[in-house]
Amino acid sequence: MAQSSVAAANSTPWSGYWWPQAPNARNLSDPGEALQYYDWYVWKTRGYNPDSAGWERQNASNDADWAGHCQAWSAASLLTKDAPNSVTRNGVYFPHDALQGLVTDLYTAPTYNGFYGTRSESNNVQSSSYKDINPAWMDYLLQYYVGKYHTGFVMDTFAGSEVWNFPAFAYRRNQTTDANGTQHVQTTVYFAKPTAGGAQHTDWFAKTYNYDLHDDGQHVDGQWTGASVQDHPDFAWTPTGRQDQAPDGTMRNPKLDPKIVSEILGYNV
C-alpha cells in the first residue's frame, strides 16, 4: 500500500548569509559590514564606539573554512521576521544584509527545547554518531513540527564532522509497506538556503532521503537506505530564542546591544 503526504510551515524562513568565521572569508566584522554600521550608529547616537567589530574579530574567528554563524542564521530566520530592505537611522544607512547580519549575530548562542542525534566528530560512516540521527526520529520530527504544527526546525544536513545547519520548512513524503510490515520511505525535505545581499526573499534547496521504518507496536526503529546511508542529517534541533552564552561556551557578541539593534530595525527582536 502506498501513501503520500506533503506539509509546510506557515511561515517560511528568510534567506540570509551564514557569515563565515574564517579570516579570509566575508566576516561580520569586516570593513563595510554589519558590525561596522552598528559601531558607527552607536558612536553617532551615544558618543562612544562599542567596538563590536573588534570583539567579533578577536573572539569569533575560526580557521575552518566551514565554520560560521549557520546556527545563528537558522534560528533567527525561524524566530524573527526578515529585516527591512534598508533603513536610515540618525543619518546612518543600513542595507538589508547588514540588518540581517545584526539579527543573526544576536542569535549566535540560540536556545532550544530539543536536540536530537549526536554531533559526529568523525567522517567514518561506520561510527554510531555518523549513523544517527535515526531516520525514525527525523521522520517523526518532520511530521510533528512541520506536519502537525506547521513550524520549521533546524537540521545539520552533513552527517560527518562539519556542521551545516539549515532551517527545514516543508517536506514531501512517499511510503510503501511490504508484506512484512516494513515501511519503505522516501522523503524530500525543503530547506531555506543562505544568500548574501538582495531584497527580502527565500531561496531554498531540497534533499531527498531514503529509509526503512519498522514498528513493533511499542516503538519505531529505522535504517537509512541507498545513498542516504552516507548522505543524511547528523542532528536536529528546535530553536526557541537566544542567550548570552550557550552551554558549550559559545558566546554572542556582548558589544552588540539587542535594544539598540531593535531601535535600528524599528521593532523588537
* pLDDT confidence of residue 199: 67
| CA neighbor of 41 nearest in space, from 267, 269, 261 | 261
Length of the chain: 269
- Which residues have C-beta within 8 Å of that of residue 63, sequence separation ≥ 6? 22, 23
Query: CA torsion sign, 114 to 165 to 132 to 207?
Result: positive
pTM: 0.94
Closest of 126, 107, 127, 108 to residue 118, by C-alpha:
127
In angstroms, what CA-CA distances link 191 with 134, 180, 198? 19, 33, 19
Report whether 173 contacts 185 (CB < 8 A): yes
Which pLDDT does position 122 carry in this prediction? 79
Give the residue ranges of the chain where pLDDT is below 70.
1, 198-199
pLDDT at 198: 67
